[in-house]
Amino acid sequence: MRATRPLEQALRLTGSRPTAGPTPTYICLSCRARAAPPSSHRQLHTTVPRAADVPLYQRLKESLFGTKESVAAAKSREEKQAQRFTDLAERPRTSTDADDNEVARPLETKTDKHGRRYEIADIVDPAARSDYVQATTWQGLETVGSVEWVKKRADTGDVYAGFAPPDRSARLRGAQWEMLLRHVVVEAVVLRKAGRSAEQICWPREGSDSWSLTRGALLEYSSVGGLVATFSEAGAEKRLRNAIPKKLPEVQATQTPEDSGDQLREAIALAPPERPGNATPAWMAMPLQDPGLKLAIIKRILQITGRRLPDPVISKSPTLAHLYHALLAKPKPKRLAQTPQLKRLNINIPNATVHAGRQTPIHKDKEVGRWKVIENELINRGLPVTGSRYQGARIGVY
C-alpha cells in the first residue's frame, strides 16, 4: 500500500463535511497546489538536484581567463616563437664559397604536409642592427598585389586561344552534317596513317582546297583493318597531308572565323541528297575508342560550325554513327520560355502569355503605349525615370 502524503491527510481532515458515502482516497493536483503554502509553490522539481562537478563561478573564470593548462601552453608557444625569431635574426646573411668569396646565403626552405615548398624570410630587428635604415618612401620596396606583381607571377607557359567561331551555331540538315563529318574523318585518317597526331586537323591551312581533296576519297571500314581512306586521284592523299602544317604557326594559333565560314558554305553547297529514314553509311560504324581522335573530330566540327555537344553525349557516343545522330538532334533551348511546350501555350490558351524575363509595370505601360508619356513627364519634373536617384544610374535596367 502506497504511503499517504501529509498534504493529502491534511486535506481530508479539513475538507468537506462528512457524508454518508465513502471517503475519497485521491485528491487532484490542482487541489493540492491550492492547499500548499505559498512558500512551496516554486519548489516543485522534476529532477533530483545534484551537486555540479565544477562550480558556476569557476566555469565562468575559465571561459574568460582560461585554465592553468591553456595559459601555460600559450606561454610556451610565445617563448618558442620568440626564440625562433631570435635565431632567424642572428642567422648570418652571407657565407663564403670555395674561392673565399663572400656570397649571399640562400633562404631556409621548408616543405609543408601538402608537398609545397616555401622560403622563410629574414627578420630584421632595428634595435639589434645598426645598419638598418627605415624607408621613408615606397620607391625600391617590394609591392604585393599590384598589376606588375600579378604579371610577374602569372603562368607564362602555354598560351590558350579560342578555336570556336564567335557567331551562333550553324543549322545544317542531315546530308550536310554527313558531308562535314566525312570531310573531318578523312583528314583524321590520313594524319593517323602518316603517324601524326589527329589534333593537327584543327590547325589552319594555307593555299589548299582540302574540301575538293576529301570529296574524292572513299571510306571503307572493316573490323580487321579499321577505317581506310582510298583516293581516286593520284597524289591527292599527299597533297591533303601536306596541306595540314606539321607545326602550329606562332602568329595565327587557330583558324579564323572567316576561313571556317567559307568551308561551311562549301559543305552546304556540295552536300549530297538526303538519305531515307535514319540510315547511315557503312563507314560510320567505326568505333571511337581513342579519346584523342574523338575529341579532335568534335573540336574540328566545333571550329567550323560552332555546334557544341554536351559532355554526357560525347562520352555516350561509341561510334561515328552515334556522334552523327547527336549532331542531328536539335539543341535543347537555353531558357524555359523557349521550349516548344510553352511556345504552344499562347495558341492553346489565348489569355496566357509566357515571357522570357521578369515583367515590371514599365513593360505593362509599354504594351498599352503609355510609357512614353510617363517618361516625358518624369524628365520634365526632374524625377528619376527608372527609380534610381544616384548620378551613375544605369539607363535601361528595370
> What are 30-55's pLDDT values in tens digits?
777 666 665 555 555 556 666 667 88
Mean pLDDT of all residues in 68-92: 84
Give which of 14, 56, 54 is closest to 31, Cα–Cα: 14
Q: Is the domain of 298 the same as that of 198? A: yes
To which H or E segment does residue 314 belong? helix 311-315
Q: Is residue 100 situated within a structural domain? A: no
pLDDT in the model for residue 398: 44
Angle 98-103-107 from CA coordinates, rounded to 5°: 115
229, with CB counted inside 10 A (0-12, 13-18, 19+), is buried
Residue 98 in any domain: the answer is: no
Pairing between β-strand 217-222 and β-strand 102-104 as defined by DSSP bridges: unpaired
Instruction: Return the C-alpha cell found at 163.
Output: 578555336
User: How would residue 292 be classed by pLDDT, with cut points 50, 70 and 90?
Assistant: confident
**Does one domain contain both 262 and 340?**
no
Nearest to 264 by CA among 320, 203, 206, 183: 183
Per-residue confidence band for 257, with pLDDT thresholds at 50, 70 and 90: very low
Take residue 397 and report the three cell numbers written for it. 535596367
Same domain? 216 vs 241: yes
243-250 contact pairs (CB < 8 A, 24+): 243/205, 243/208, 243/210, 243/213, 244/187, 244/191, 244/200, 244/201, 244/203, 244/205, 244/210, 245/200, 245/203, 245/204, 245/205, 245/206, 246/196, 246/200, 248/203, 249/203, 249/204
Shared-domain flag, residues 320 and 182: yes
Same structural domain for residues 218 and 312? yes
DSSP 8-state assignment for residue 104:
E
**Count of domains observed in the chain:** 3
Q: Which residue has the cell 498599352?
A: 368
Residue 269 parent element (H or E): helix 257-269
Do 286 and 380 belong to one domain?
no
Top-confidence residue, 291 or 88: 291
5 within some domain: yes
My answer on whether 244 and 307 are in the same domain is: yes
In the predicted model, is pLDDT for residue 322 greater than 80? yes
Please provide residue 104's backbone torsions phi and psi, each rounded to the nearest 5 degrees: -70, 135
Q: Which of 373, 377, 381, 375 is nearest to 398 (CA)?
A: 375
| pLDDT over 70 at 325, yes or no | yes
**Of the candidates 205, 193, 180, which has an alpha carbon nearest to the alpha carbon of residue 255?**
205
> Residue 365: helix, strand or coil by DSSP?
helix
Q: How far is residue 365's CA from residue 15's CA, in Å, rounded to a whole number?
A: 81
Work out the pLDDT band at 249, boundaries 50, 70, 90: low
Which residue type does 192 have?
Answer: R
Taking the C-alpha atoms of residue 178 and residue 261, their distance in angstroms, rounded to an integer, is: 17
Query: Residue 263 falls within a domain, yes or no?
Result: yes
Residue that wins the pLDDT comparison between 163 and 314: 314
**Residue from 224, 217, 223, 226 nearest 187 by CA:** 217
Instruction: Looking at the structure, tell me whether residues 364 and 301 fall in a common domain.
Output: no
Query: pTM for the complete prediction?
Result: 0.49
d(CA 302, CA 169): 9
How confident is the model over 107-132, as pLDDT tens digits?
A: 778 888 877 787 777 666 666 667 77
Q: What is the mean pLDDT of the segment spanning 3-13?
A: 61
Range of the domain at 31: 1-15+24-37
Neighbours of 323 (CB within 10 A): 24
Q: State the pLDDT at residue 72.
A: 92
164-186 pLDDT per residue, tens: 665 556 677 777 888 888 888 88
- 162: in domain: no
In terms of domains, do 343 and 243 share one? no
Residue 94 lies in a domain: no
Asked if 231 and 358 sit in the same domain, the reply is: no
> What does the pLDDT average to over 195-212?
77
Furthest C-alpha separation in the chain: 132
- In this prediction, residues 276-289 reach a mean pLDDT of 80
- Residue type at 347 in one-letter notation: I
Question: Are 260 and 215 members of one domain?
Answer: yes
**In this structure, is residue 316 part of a structural domain?**
yes
Are residues 300 and 374 located together in one domain of the fold?
no
259 falls within a domain = yes
- Highest mean pLDDT range out of 35-39, 82-86, 95-99, 176-180? 176-180
pLDDT for 253: 44
